[in-house]
Amino acid sequence: MKQDMIVILDLGSEKNTVVARAIRALGVYSEIYPHDVTVRELESLYNLKGIVLNGGPNHIVDGVDIDVDHEIYHIGVPVIAAGFAKAGCTVNLPQFGDDVEAVKKALKSFVFDTCKAEANWNMENFISDQVELIKKQVGNKKVLLALSGGVDSSVVAAMLLKAIGNQLVCVHVNHGLMRKNESEKVVEVFKNQLNANLIYVDAVDRFLNKLSGVSDPEQKRKIIGSEFIRVFEEEARKLDGIEFLGQGTIYPDIVESGTKTAKIVKSHHNVGGLPKDLQFALVEPLKQLFKDEVRACGVALGLPDEMVYRQPFPGPGLGVRCLGAITRDRLEAVRESDAILREEFHNAGLDKKVWQYFTLIPDFKSVGVKNNARCFEWPVIIRAVNTVDAMTATVEPLDWSVLSKVTDRILKEVKNVNRVLYDMSPKPCATIEWE
């Protein structure tokens, strides 16, 4: 590893990731470790330049009063106390939350003046480090990757491709619940442009048959999840010599922040549910990155912006936006109306501003009139929300002109639809998705 590193020891603070991000923003790499990390483990970290003890208000983790091993004061790097840490170190950071600028200034002085760290954390170094590590881990073996086309799996694919070329085998399962042209784009970018070894599986009929007549949302989600594992497993069994599974685990998946349980959670949530005889060792080259760093990594690896700056998309895809029992006509109408919404948001510059936006279709019809004749067709509902962490969300106050344009186009271009509605409900009490 080429980068200098500052370690944050979690003594029950809620601000671990805030501190980690503030240090990374200075161009210095930073990782969070649990309070009971061993001195030996810390000593083994290459280029460790300093330690931040980050304490919560009552020094309690999992109900136990905690302290760090006092040996850490003697391992030869500066130690600073932040938050509420009661510590044997001489320097104390001001509280985050009181005066953010003052904390940042103090952190900066600690990192550069006290620890003498170098600002050498950047994507170029990160990528070259990871490429080296992947080569070392994988050797001449093969890595299998489920490539959904989402940000994380796409960036992992690009990284592995750079490291091991055609020792990477990507499997893209088209379950029929992708957005318009999404599967085509995965094939175009990875197979045609980047020459990846990509197996494209058309499982559309298989998924839609399984889902036929199933209206319970949880049941639908379960079927989509387990069928995905089954298809992936079948493909994996056809391949020889695979020893590793690529995985788009990212840093927030690993570090759970929170006063009580801020621990390193081992990354065992692989393409969960694979049978015992199909267990692979994991390759997780993004596991140290925050989401925005994953995107920057994707850009640095040459992926197109539309792949890297995608809005979040649920695993079960359009399946949870075609409410109730999925039918092909409604699924097509969701897909087409969603494509129109995305195009018009792009034209209006809203794609850079709004966090998540999509359409959905409920499973009831209403009476309308088309070409002077009565019709009985589906409504399309538009959802456009802003949020920081998806736990709460507000509704985007869309311009009337955008709503009218989208409505006109959906009513003209999408079959079997005679109404367009805008969902005005914040979360809570609504959720972002309807199912």
Binding site for ligand XMP (CB under 6 A): 312, 314-316, 356, 390, 427, 431-433
Least distance from ligand XMP to the Cβ atom of residue 356, Å: 5
**E-state strands within 175-318:** 197-202, 242-246, 281-283
Q: Which CB sits closer to ligand XMP, 314 or 362?
A: 314
Least distance from ligand XMP to the Cβ atom of residue 318, Å: 11
Q: Which CB sits closer to ligand XMP, 68 or 250?
A: 250
Sign of CA dihedral 317, 318, 319, 324: positive
Q: Which CB sits closer to ligand XMP, 244 or 313?
A: 313
Q: Which CB sits closer to ligand XMP, 315 or 368?
A: 315
Cα(116)–Cα(110) distance, integer angstroms: 8
CB atoms within 10 A of CB 364: 9
The label of the residue with tokens 């991000």 reads 21
Q: Which CB sits closer to ligand XMP, 315 or 324?
A: 315
Q: Are 65 and 57 in contact (CB under 8 A)?
A: no
Residue 128: C-alpha distances to residues 31, 124, 282, 289 (Å): 19, 6, 19, 15
Residue 145 DSSP code: E
CB atoms within 10 A of CB 135: 13
Least distance from ligand XMP to the Cβ atom of residue 150, Å: 8
Q: Which CB sits closer to ligand XMP, 233 or 433?
A: 433
Q: Which CB sits closer to ligand XMP, 125 or 386?
A: 386
Burial-class residue 416 by CB neighbours within 10 Å (0-12, 13-18, 19+): middle
| Three-class secondary structure of residue 411 per DSSP | helix
Q: Are 261 and 279 in contact (CB under 8 A)?
A: no
Cα(33)–Cα(401) distance, integer angstroms: 50
